Amino acid sequence: MSQISVSLPDGSKRDLESGATAIDLAKSIGSGLAKAAVGAVVNGAESDLTAPLPDGAQVAIITAATDEGRHLLRHSTAHVLAQAVVQLFPGSKFTIGPAIEDGFYYDFDLPGGKTFSEEDLDLISNKMREIIKADQPFVRSEVSVSDALQLFADQPYKCEIIERVTSGGADGADADEVGSGESISVYRNTDTFVDLCRGPHVPSTGRLGHFALQKVAGAYWRGSEKGPMLQRIYGTAWESKAALEEHLTRLAEAEKRDHRRLATELDLLSFPSELGGGLAVWHPKGAIVRKLMEDYSRARHEREYQFVYTPHLANANLFATSGHLDFYKDGMYPPMEMDNGVYYPKPMNCPMHCLIFRSRQRSYRELPLRLFELGTVYRYERAGTLHGLMRIRGFTQDDSHIYCTEDQLQAEIISLLDFIMSVLRAFGFNEFTANLSTKDPNKYVGSDSIWEKATEALRGALDTYGLEYKIKEGDAAFYGPKIDIDVRDAIGRKWQLSTIQCDFNLPDRFELEYVGSDNARHRPIMVHRALFGSVERFFGVLVEHFAGAFPAWLAPVQVKVLAVAQAHEEYAASIVQHLSALGFRAEAVIADDQLGKRIRNAKVEKVPYVLVVGDDDLANGTVGVNPRGGDVQRDVALNDFVNTLRADVAEAAIPGLSQ
């Protein structure tokens, strides 16, 4: 029998019989690898383990306990979910079921307008386990477009996807479901169930099983309010029982840390229905934290940035020039007609900063010119996507736009990475990764050469800085590539916060120029940059990261002073007055309830320090110190406590903000 030769990631080669598959390759390497294998990457493309390998292929085995392996497990589990629903609810129409971060979902249109209940989730989960126990193989095949339309004749959403793909109108979701080309890819689990899918999948349903269905939500078809309302089932799937249980435990902890719940419990802010969706009001305690964040941002920018302010709305002509009306109009609030013109609330600050640069002739000696603004913007997020402070319609960015020469660009980006890391560390984050987003070939302005130049500048800066990063193909904004910085919070979740975007296009659109050392006019390069991302979202992430227990420098109330009895209230008030005069945030709690209850209340409010004062303290000028998460200390001299508090606050090393 003839043989083929394939290359492994380490550069070695392995000879196999002709027709051998990736699972055969895995078995030839070792039984442990074969057992862990769920898919393969063949010549750079993901593939089923059961697909024959071509001669000379470069092959990497995908194992379950990797990001790629979990993605494959979750997508396969989503297909089992669809199979279970179709079997349990005859007449159901199924749409798309992608893997998402930490899980998967599938959208359904149920007959008679039915909606799923919690009891239905248990029923569906049990049916899925029956399918998994049956160890049904995932069998891939290619069919013609006409055969695919006939195969899914009773599934209108699948037919719509097929028609969009064949007409050239497919989007990313369609490609994930079908792929592209003259034939349509389908997978069968049994003779009675078939689904559209590009693949790959695990070899059989028996490789699955560590999953949980989590919730039901409404979702519009294709995310448009004009489309039908569907029923979406969310779930999660993992490579082992231990990994699943760890994730569910983390979710339970995340629920406890939900910033929307803690914001109410700690009296930080609220979302009154009278305001409308996606808008918040900040209560005094939340406003204190926000002010500290903004003061910190201003203090960090004072040396090298120039502060600017811009209006909240502008004439439509400005956004036509910037390109937002062409590429971002769906995300903008509806226009207002006045003064014989059309005005929009601004979705971005960058066009107005370009006007500031263009307001007079600029010299190369002024570059890099760094403009900074805590600028509030407005974006029309769909109602179904709103989520507390994490997805909101009006928010403030710590926004900067830097205008520099091409020679200055890479050094400027490296400096920005340093700046970002120091800011994130000051707020308690210490684990970082980055993503480099490249051009969406269907949605961009500017020449390919300009995009390549900008992308390489960002890539070079990341390589020089030494920050771990991944490439996100096609995820850039329409006007230029970007770096997104992710942080890992206290319970291991990733949050995308800071952004650096390199832009060669807006300077062209606004005809920005500077006079170079050669006395000729040149086009500057523009860098968009936000460190918090948005103040509101960063605040929400902080609440969840700290579970509402802000570090001493950020806590809205740093010290609560509790008098044991009414006779000690005057002394408690004098301590508050002393601490306040030193710049600390302190409150006295009158003795109108049992001491133990008042201490518990202060702890529920997550105050860093609770001081209790009684007879001995009044006589000796001392306090009892009950630190959050620490041991109680008695008879502490007030000055000693002040030094402890000052050191705690100073640990944050906040320029201009430490007492």
Identify the structural domains of the chain with CATH numbers, from first to last: 3-63 (3.10.20.30), 68-254 (3.30.980.10), 264-545 (3.30.930.10), 559-650 (3.40.50.800)
Containing H/E element for 5? strand 3-7
The CA R_g of the chain, rounded to the nearest whole Å, is: 29
Q: Provide the 3-class DSSP secondary structure of residue 24.
A: helix
Give yes or no for residue 656 having a pLDDT over 50: no
**pLDDT tens-digit profile of 370-391?**
999 999 999 998 877 889 999 9
**pLDDT tens-digit profile of 226-266?**
889 999 999 999 999 999 999 999 999 999 999 999 999 99
Containing H/E element for 437? strand 432-437
CA distance linking residue 34 with residue 27, whole number of Å: 5
CA distance linking residue 100 with residue 77, whole number of Å: 12
Amino acid residing at 25: L
Amino acid residing at 633: Q
CA distance linking residue 33 with residue 63, whole number of Å: 8
DSSP 529-540: EESSS-HHHHHH
Active site residues: 350, 379, 397, 399, 401, 482, 528
**pLDDT tens-digit profile of 104-123?**
999 999 998 889 998 999 99
Average pLDDT rounded to a whole number, residues 526-533: 94
Give yes or no for residue 642 having a pLDDT over 80: yes
CA distance linking residue 511 with residue 505, whole number of Å: 10
For residue 178, the model assigns a pLDDT of: 56
What share of the chain has pLDDT > 90, as a percent?
78
Overall size of the chain counted in residues? 659
**Which pLDDT band, with edges at 50, 70 and 90, does 305 fall under?**
very high
Average pLDDT rounded to a whole number, residues 338-346: 90
> Please, are residues 128 and 81 in contact by the beta-carbon 8 Å criterion?
yes
Amino acid residing at 368: P
**Which pLDDT band, with edges at 50, 70 and 90, does 658 fall under?**
very low
**pLDDT tens-digit profile of 197-213?**
989 999 999 999 999 99
What share of the chain has pLDDT > 70, as a percent?
96
pTM: 0.82
* Conformational region of residue 196, where left means phi above 0, alpha means psi within -120 to 50, and beta covers everything else: beta
CA distance linking residue 539 with residue 541, whole number of Å: 5
CA distance linking residue 405 with residue 414, whole number of Å: 15
For residue 159, the model assigns a pLDDT of: 93
> Please, are residues 497 and 293 in contact by the beta-carbon 8 Å criterion?
no
Tokens of 263: 């914001």
> Please, are residues 550 and 610 in contact by the beta-carbon 8 Å criterion?
no
Going 323 to 326 to 329 to 335, the CA torsion angle's sign is positive
Average pLDDT, the chain: 91
DSSP 519-578: S-EEPPEEEEEESSS-HHHHHHHHHHHTTT---TTT-S--EEEEESSGGGHHHHHHHHHH
